[in-house]
Amino acid sequence: MTEATLHRILHVTRNLPPLVGGMERLNWHIADGLSRCAQVHVVGPRGAAENKPFDVDVQEVPLRPLWWFLLISAWQAFRLARKHQPALVLAGSGLTAPAAWLAARACGGRAAVYVHGLDISVRHPVYRALWHPFLRRMDVVIANSRPTAVMAHGIGIAPGNVHVVHPGVALPEVALSDRALRAFRERHAVGDAPLLLSVGRLTQRKGLREFVREAFPAIVRQVPNVQLMVIGDAAKDSLLPGMQSRDDIQAAADAAGVGAHLRFLGGVSDLELASAYEAANVHVFPVIEVPGDPEGFGMVAIEAAGHGLPTVAFAVGGIVDAVQEGESGRLVAQADYPALASAVVDLVQRPALDQHYAARRFAERFAWPHFHRDLWAALMPDSTAVPAALPSANG
């Protein structure tokens, strides 16, 4: 067999389907991409084996309670490391970094972790006392954005060990038909109205309640028939408090006099989400800074751009890597709601076709083949397997 089979990698993560979210998609693609160049074994949550990538072995452990997951996943990682002797043990987030480090020591392999902003910024004293030392000991730290890398340096991780590899995106192969988009709009009673889209979990950090209170009224005054469609609900498996709810957001909109302009869809299918991206005029991403809960990257902005939809956002956290000013959308200063409203109105009133192509070109830089190659290069810098085993950026 080829050199690819000489590599063994153990991937330890809590974030895999059947859990739903950006980190879950990311870790699935990490396992999928690495399996093209290595034998990959995964320690993940119960139910992960049914949804695993092809040719990846999964050892399931109970998801709840959290302490039990941490204990059993660490034991299984240690056991599999001794059995398979992987060259690398990768933690899918900071949460499983201790398990990955201990497993790597058990087999003489290298330890790596993919970190998000929250992995670094959690304020809990136990996490800081126990997890941060393991993060500092990792041989390789992959950061999801430049701001996350800066945060990693700030807790004492050696700059030479930190590599920025942005999460990837699946680009749609073909656009949906005009007929399908009209049907989507009719199904949700928005007709031909300008449509704003918000996608993501309803957390405090996402800032949707503040947006409908502080910016949306000004948008409605200038674009009276505009509608705001909200896709997503409160996260069931979040490790942090600070959820918002439909009732919270609707109450804020009602108090601001714009409640009739909201449409809540909750969780939707992939096809329905694609329809929303392509039917909308602007993706609004009003993330705010919340102490101890940063926005590490902003994957939804890349997903929107992949469908040709521009994003308007505050320039906070890793969003500065996920939105390119003037190309895939607009960035405004933190908490400047008048500027945010103005940018939204400006994009709504511009010709959509030019914005579509510019956003799409930006998103192409984040296609999963690019991610797989960059990740492999950071994790296995001395390997020559990657050119032959991974598809081209256009494949």
What is the spatial distance between Cα 131 and Cα 96, in angstroms, rounded to a whole number? Answer: 9
CA 150 centroid distance within chain: 18
Q: What is the mean pLDDT of residues 277-290?
A: 93
Q: What is the pLDDT of residues 301-326, one digit of tens each?
A: 999 999 999 999 999 989 999 999 99
**Residue 391: is its pLDDT beyond 70?**
no
Beta bridge partners of 115: 143
Q: What is the pLDDT of residues 114-142, one digit of tens each?
A: 999 889 988 889 999 999 999 999 999 99
Question: What is the chain's mean pLDDT, rounded?
Answer: 91
Confidence of residue 360 (pLDDT cuts 50, 70, 90): very high
**Residue 384: is its pLDDT beyond 80?**
no
Q: Which of 99, 82, 86, 87 is nearest to 135 (CA)?
A: 99
Q: Are 145 and 296 in contact (CB under 8 A)?
A: yes
Beta bridge partners of 249: none
The encoded tokens of residue 143 equal 């950061």
The encoded tokens of residue 52 equal 């695993």
Share of the chain above pLDDT 70, in %: 93
**∠ CA 303-33-319, rounded to 5°:** 30
CA atoms within a 13 Å half-sphere pointing along the CA-CB vector of 112: 26
Q: Are 112 and 90 in contact (CB under 8 A)?
A: yes
The encoded tokens of residue 344 equal 């939204």
Share of the chain above pLDDT 90, in %: 77
Only one residue has tokens 């049914």, namely: 50
Put residue 141 in one of left, alpha, beta given phi > 0 → left and psi -120 to 50 → alpha: beta
In the three-class reduction of DSSP (H, G, I as helix; E, B as strand; rest coil), residue 195 is classed as: strand
**Residue 389: is its pLDDT beyond 60?**
no
Catalogue all structural domains in the chain, each as residue range(s) with its CATH number.
3-168+367-389 (3.40.50.2000), 178-364 (3.40.50.2000)
